Structure 1
Amino acid sequence: MVKQSLTPDQIKEYNQDGYLILRGFLNQKEVSKLYQIAIDDKAMSKNAINVNDSTGKRSKLSLWYKPGDDVYGLLTRSESLVNSVDKLLDGDAAVCHFHSKLMQKEPKVGGAWEWHQDYGYWYKNEFLLPDQMMSVMVAITDANKENGCLQVIKGSHKMDRVEHGFAGEQVGASQRYVDLALQTMDLVFVEIKAGDILFFHSNLLHRSEANLSDQARWSMISCYNRASNIGYNESTSDSASITPIDIVPDEALLTWKTTGLVEEGAGFLAKEADMALK
């Protein structure tokens, strides 16, 4: 069964705030299947990249470009999710998958992420239209203040892109502009439950604290793009970033026989790759 379509008020909220939360987008069975496959996924583990924050705490992520018939690809390509993205992105060209990543913040050791805009990275790939790009975070476990949930500056996407530079091993936004934004815009802690999803604009300023709790925080983030928005300096020229998504029915996540990622077909980001290109 196709999930409920976005309402005009929800689309307005996204355009105004730069983000939108849908509660209970995945049911308990869907979340459980996604989590169980993720924690046992050898290809995902083998290709995980460690990223240190300024204090030395470490988060892990695995990033891949090509969505397949694995459990992650079926979610990324699911009809309701793609249709929602289509309603929120500017333009009318086909929706494409840029890349996805599994974010793993383990208890006590999971590191923080600096303030940044996703387009602060993607601008260097020479995508010209940030309104035609967005990220969708699927909570695989609960995310709260204690385990380092995402923080966003409400409405900051309207600032357009701000300068980014290296902060340790990460690329972060100019702190001067972050401080100015916080003088007039609201800081929001995005506390969500497993199965909730968060849509956010490519220019929305966001960060997260380290995970100091006893509970892991796992999430999957899929990034989308319009076929008309070419990355002229996109290092993965054969990636799906300008190839229309092959949509699958929502029920495929539960009814199709699926496993974890197949390493050869996923197009993982190499461990030695520059993280500024992600």
Structure 2
Amino acid sequence: MHHCIGLFVFLPPVFDHSGGGDFKVTPGMKTAFEQQGYVLVRSLLDSEETGRVREALESQDSVWKHSFGIKGKDGRLSRLCVWSNPGNDVTGVLARCEKMAGTCETLLGGEVYHYHSKLMMKEADIGGKFLWHQDYGYWYQNGNLFPDMMTAFVAVDGCTKENGCLKILPGSHLCGRLDHTLTEGQQGAELERVEHIKSRLPVMDVVMEPGDCLFFHCNLLHSSGPNLSPSRRWALLVAYNRRSNNPVREHQHPRYRPLTKAQNSLLKTCPLTEPNPEVKEFMDPSKSRTLANVERPSETQRQ
């Protein structure tokens, strides 16, 4: 599918890293990110790296303990766990490694720091949807003055249309920040404006295999449907902010803290988990400016 933005037609910026080796941002990737607001890299993580990340997330009781759900009007639950400090375990090394943090520095054009990581958990059959929104619609309220921010979305499980894969509007980051209001417990972009943008830009279903990574700009409009399948859909998202965009107010995510980048090879040798999980600095959703209708998990709900 070609994307038409204004008078220009672009091919989807999808790049294959299945051959392994060092990963470097090419001029074509940089141009695509600036024009379309995203870059999709197939097999950014190989099967061993993906397996270690999955094992680490599944084995930590702290992830479940600190997770919370947002229930929609349809009764479905969108569950997530958010933390501020990357740490030295495999999820921390992933957030700090060159092919994640280094890629975001190149795409954003300056030094970045770890804004937060989150595990998005759409459980089989019951996982909820996320409304059309921009991440900067949230992060603007946290005192970030410029949209010099982005997210790296790593598929832990396969992401399909049936289990609620991400949907994006390529090029929508060029619209600037939209007004967001609280709807169904979520901050969603102004519906009428989104519909107008959808009449000009194509909706793209981001179908991903485990280990694929979507790098996208904080003003890119995106959403996701409910999980109507018998397959779980977990994804690990790492958000980055430029050092020059240090927030002007205290909030639930950190101000600038230097990020010590790690070699990609450490993903296969670092510890799976932190000896003390609390060093991850898990977020308390009650302190968020942009969340409502939050539910805490019980052991009986655990899938």
For normalisation by structure 2, the TM-score amounts to 0.86
Alignment of 1:159-174 (within 5 A): 159-174=175-190
- Change in 2 beyond 3 A, CA 1:273/1:236: closer
**Other-structure match for 1:109:** 126
**Other-structure match for 1:21:** 40
Unmatched segments (≥5 aa) in structure 1: none
Does residue 79 of the first structure (1) align with residue 98 of the second (2)?
yes
**Other-structure match for 1:126:** 143
**Other-structure match for 1:198:** 214
| Contact 1:48–1:271 (CA under 8 A) maintained in structure 2 | no
Partner Cα separation in structure 2 for residue 259 and residue 126 of structure 1:
32
- Change in 2 beyond 3 A, CA 1:245/1:253: same
Partner Cα separation in structure 1 for residue 22 and residue 100 of structure 2:
9
Helix, strand or coil for the counterpart of 2:29?
A: helix
- Change in 2 beyond 3 A, CA 1:123/1:162: same
Q: Give the deviation of 1:209 after TM superposition.
A: 0.2
Unmatched segments (≥5 aa) in structure 2: 1-19, 293-303
Q: Give the deviation of 1:41 after TM superposition.
A: 1.0
| Contact 2:88–2:274 (CA under 8 A) maintained in structure 1 | no
Partner Cα separation in structure 2 for residue 71 and residue 162 of structure 1:
35
Q: Percent identity?
A: 35
- The structure, 1 or 2, with the larger RCO (C-alpha pairs under 8 Å, 6+ apart) is 1
**Other-structure match for 1:178:** 194
Partner Cα separation in structure 2 for residue 254 and residue 127 of structure 1:
34
Measured on the aligned residues, the alpha-carbon RMSD in Å equals: 1.7
For normalisation by structure 1, the TM-score amounts to 0.94
Q: Give the deviation of 1:2 after TM superposition.
A: 5.9
Q: Give the deviation of 1:81 after TM superposition.
A: 1.5
Does residue 68 of the first structure (1) align with residue 87 of the second (2)?
yes
| Contact 1:52–1:59 (CA under 8 A) maintained in structure 2 | yes
Q: Which contiguous aligned blocks of 4+ residues in structure 1 show a shift greater than 3 angstroms? A: 260-263
Q: Which amino acid in 2 is paired with 1:44?
A: V
Q: Give the deviation of 1:77 after TM superposition.
A: 0.3
Q: Give the deviation of 1:236 after TM superposition.
A: 4.4
Partner Cα separation in structure 1 for residue 155 and residue 120 of structure 2:
10
| Contact 1:43–1:261 (CA under 8 A) maintained in structure 2 | no
> 2:239 is matched with which residue: 216, 220, 223?
223
Helix, strand or coil for the counterpart of 1:146?
A: coil
| Contact 2:186–2:291 (CA under 8 A) maintained in structure 1 | no
| Contact 1:38–1:260 (CA under 8 A) maintained in structure 2 | no
Task: Give a deviation string over 1:42-84, Cα, whole Å, max 9, x none.
Answer: 1111000111123110021000101101111010001221111
| Contact 2:54–2:156 (CA under 8 A) maintained in structure 1 | yes
Partner Cα separation in structure 2 for residue 249 and residue 40 of structure 1:
24
- Change in 2 beyond 3 A, CA 1:68/1:269: same
